[in-house]
Amino acid sequence: MENVRLALRGTPRPVLFCPVSAHVDRSVKELKQSVLMDTSRKAPVPFQVEPATGGATIHWIVESLAPGQEREYVLRDGKQETPGPQARAQQDDDATVSVRIGGSLFTRYLCGQDGSKPCLYPLIGPFGQGVTRAYPFEEVEDDSTDHIHHRSVFVAWGDVNGCDNWGEEAGHGRMVHRYFDAVESGPVFARIVSLNDWVDADGNRLLQDRLSYTFYNCPASFRLFDVDVTLYASEGEVRFGDTKEGGILSFRVAAPMEAKRTGRIENSFGGVNENETWGKRASWCDYSGLVGGHTVGLAAFDHPSNPRYPTYWHVRNYGLMTANPFGLSQFIGEGYDGSLVLASGQNLCFRYRVLVHAGDAAQGGVGGKYLDWIYPPRAEVLD
């Protein structure tokens, strides 16, 4: 393969362990027989490749860039060496996929029929303890046991053509796992792609979804993953009703982190705790608190391409945090209707990034990590 030279242009901010990508005019087969060299350090850089129109996309993680710094790379023939930590997704059975970063468990994707929806549990923080609630999966001392439907990390909505696919009261709907479209591992990321049917209480299908989770091979001091949600109106028109009971991406934090205990909610505008963040729009929202003697946090980022960006947040002092773009009558007041109708055969896409970090939002660098996502270092092919 003829060499390909790449330049990575830095941002106005310092960058640490940031996922980046570049499109190259080479086949996946060629690239899988190549190495990516950092020319300044004269060292190989682990990368991952995916097919793309007119060539392929390569992904890697840049460990550090000073403000405005540029770095050059070259793709050349050779065998890629991938020493050190890997991102691994392993299907344990038909209903469970485990994700390990650097050999350590980070999370499991659970899609069994004992719950009403697929979810991620546990979600392990930088000090080895879970940052999402154990209930209803495990019994732990002094846990919160309200709202059984708040299942760690999940996607759901409370009014889908009048059906409740959020709560678990009598007559609720479900998200039924169909199959895994991908379970991938690699030096840069692991990925799980799951397809599900949203059904009503009688099992009639309302819509279909595609959930994609991409888990990056970052250092143990923080974890980073992307959640892409695509909703398909496969059975006819779908109306997502105006309700606070829902979140396209939702979290229930570990009980000790609740703001009514040791925790703190903060959004991208500086709003703190429920009074200043519930029903408010923001580019990101962070929930932090003490777990096992350490302050840890969980931040969710809303992408500018998402419908009704920046989203509204249904976030509570008792530990719930959800990105809710449709509940306008609840958040703004009577006279507003936030419902959205998806025409038959159409789809609706949402993109989010999740950061699990040490410290509170400031200590975890949440604002900077958000900007790294929407304004990452820019890669260019030089020849």
Q: What is the mean pLDDT of each run of 10 residues along the chain (383 residues)?
A: 92 96 94 93 92 96 96 91 81 95 96 86 97 96 96 97 95 95 96 97 97 96 97 98 97 98 98 98 98 97 98 98 98 95 98 98 98 96 86
**pLDDT tens digits, one per residue of 175-230:** 999 999 999 999 999 999 999 999 999 999 999 999 999 999 999 999 999 999 99
Give the C-alpha distances (Å, rounded to integers) separating 373 from 115, 296, 365. Answer: 32, 21, 13
Alpha-carbon dihedral 149, 204, 91, 45, rounded to 10 degrees: -90
CB-based burial label for 170 (10 Å; 0-12, 13-18, 19+): exposed
- pLDDT the model gives residue 2: 86
8-state DSSP, 293: T
Kindly list the structural domains of the chain, giving each domain's residue range(s) and its CATH number in brackets, ordered by start: 4-83 (2.60.40.1180), 87-366 (2.70.98)
- pLDDT the model gives residue 84: 61
pTM of the complete model = 0.97
Name, in order, each residue with C-beta under 8 angstroms of 216's C-beta and a sequence gap of 6 or more.
Answer: 19, 61, 87, 188, 189, 223, 224, 225, 226
For the chain, the helix, strand and coil percentages under 3-state DSSP, each to the nearest 5 = 5, 50, 45
- pLDDT the model gives residue 80: 77
**pLDDT tens digits, one per residue of 70-95:** 999 999 998 877 666 699 999 999 89
8-state DSSP, 41: T
* DSSP string across 167-228: --STT--EEEEEEEEEEE-BSSEEEEEEEEEEE-TT--EEEEEEEEEEEE---TTEEEEEEE
- pLDDT the model gives residue 82: 67
β-strand pairing of 238-240 with 119-123? unpaired
- pLDDT the model gives residue 85: 66
- pLDDT the model gives residue 275: 98
- pLDDT the model gives residue 215: 98
